[in-house]
Amino acid sequence: MDWKPNRHSSIPVYKQIAAHIEQLISNGEYPAGSVLPSERALSKELQVNRSTIVAAFEELRALGIIESLQGKGTIVSKNIWGGTNRRIPNWEKLIETGSFLPNPSMMRTIRKEMYHQDLIDLASGELSPELSASPYFRKILATEDFTYHVGYDHPQGNLNLRQTIAQHLKEYRNISATPSSILVTSGAQQALYLIVQCLLQNGDAVAIEDPSYCYSLPLFKSAGIRSFLLPSDEQGVDPEDIIDLYKKHRIKMVFLNPNFQNPTGSLLHIDRRKRILEISSYYGIPIVEDDPYSLTAFDQTKVPTLKSLDQNGTVLYISSLSKIVASGLRIGWIFGPQKAIERLADAKQQIDFGHSIIPEWVAKQFLSSEDFPIHLQKLRNSLACNRDKIVFSLHDLLGDQVEFFAPDGGIHLWCKVKSEIDEQQLLNESIRRGVVYVPGSIFGTKKGYARFTFGRASEDHIYDAMTRFSEALRHHV
């Protein structure tokens, strides 16, 4: 066998061996009834302990692919496909060949660890249960009469909700929208997915911020989109870099998250906003403004969204209730030119036949209730307290070992560790000490950063979390 297991993979070696043998069997290299090499021979050939081969064989035996016969050794089961013509699908191979790429492995590891352990969570980009609006939902469900028909609804989403979103956009974000130019989506995530799938094609070039949430999404790569990076600082990206990328790569679209950006918490400077809109309309490059965070602004000043300044209709505006109401409601939306919205709605219908009416109804009731502004104000106050707590903890525990700025909204703080670190090891050490966050390299090219989400953990746990992180930093090698 030329093949050898990959010792750096997150998949255990015995599983890799079992999958490889299964592949050889399904490829016909070991036909039904043939004898497999002995455990001893395989362990020598693959340079692994015999117990690893035993575990791999056990896995295959449990699946009915091989069996042990006294005096004969291990043979490929005769009834895999022989007499009955049954073939075992090679799932390992199938999952590798799909065109939709999996999440980055570090992200999958973080999620797995969070499900299996009781960790202080500075990794999940969402609100804590205490900050979410669930208590108001209970009130709505208990007091309001649900009268909607539960059938397939309009492909753009329920009209009452779209009317409410249009009013909300006017009142809270200074954006004039009509319900017919709004598409309700399953969060901002689905909005991004639909835009990539319907308005771009394989080989197209786009610009994204570095670092950015979009960088962490394989959905761009899955669609064959080439992403070019716009370096960003505390005031967002430099508009002139967009022109450079346009001239070099003919970028087709720019994806920006200008308000309390994920992961940096930065707010795009107003002059830069205006210049970006000028460039966008001069070169005809659409801007996708991904805006889940503008309403979290701690000081209540209205953040001038790009869309509210857009006089030429070059901005596709995405938002969602995930970061201000509840992420599990899965209500987001896109507002833009009607033709584009209809195209995206047609695709959404093909994917899921439209949004579920129950969360749409809850969202409509809540957004139009008197409780919404009360909730929003409480949320902003609490997030500001959490932000203060994490800033205090970092100063107190790590002093000049770290560098960061305090964001004025959002739920993320972007922190540079000044000493050289091994991101994976520091994460492992932190998890061992009971705290989890997201290493910076997930979001772009910058090394030595960590994204701490202060909206998910309770205020009381933040100092404890940073104590554990600072200990991990001291002990990691």
- For ligand PLP, the binding residues (CB under 6 A) are 125, 187-189, 213, 257, 262, 290, 292, 320, 322, 327, 332
Closer to ligand PLP at the Cβ: 21 or 256?
A: 256
Closer to ligand PLP at the Cβ: 5 or 211?
A: 211
Q: What is the Cα gyration radius of the chain?
A: 26
**Shortest separation between residue 321's beta carbon and ligand PLP, angstroms:** 7
**Shortest separation between residue 365's beta carbon and ligand PLP, angstroms:** 19
CB of 296 closer than 8 Å to CB of 438 = no
**Shortest separation between residue 220's beta carbon and ligand PLP, angstroms:** 13
**Shortest separation between residue 188's beta carbon and ligand PLP, angstroms:** 4
**Shortest separation between residue 54's beta carbon and ligand PLP, angstroms:** 44
Angle at 306 between CA 303 and CA 311, to 5 degrees: 125
Minimal CA–CA distance to 122: which of 411, 360, 406, 471? 411
Residue 360, C-beta contacts closer than 8 angstroms, at least 6 positions apart: 153, 157, 158, 161, 184, 331
Closer to ligand PLP at the Cβ: 64 or 231?
A: 231
- Closest residue to ligand PLP in the complex (CB): 187
Closer to ligand PLP at the Cβ: 56 or 288?
A: 288
Structure tokens at 166: 């249009």
Strand partners, 185: 332
Closer to ligand PLP at the Cβ: 30 or 372?
A: 372
Closer to ligand PLP at the Cβ: 211 or 332?
A: 332
**CA distance linking residue 55 with residue 157, whole number of Å:** 51
CB of 192 closer than 8 Å to CB of 347 = no
**CA distance linking residue 398 with residue 473, whole number of Å:** 9
Closer to ligand PLP at the Cβ: 42 or 362?
A: 362
**CA distance linking residue 185 with residue 191, whole number of Å:** 6
**Shortest separation between residue 388's beta carbon and ligand PLP, angstroms:** 22
**Shortest separation between residue 187's beta carbon and ligand PLP, angstroms:** 2
**CA distance linking residue 267 with residue 257, whole number of Å:** 9
Is 316 strand, coil or helix?
strand
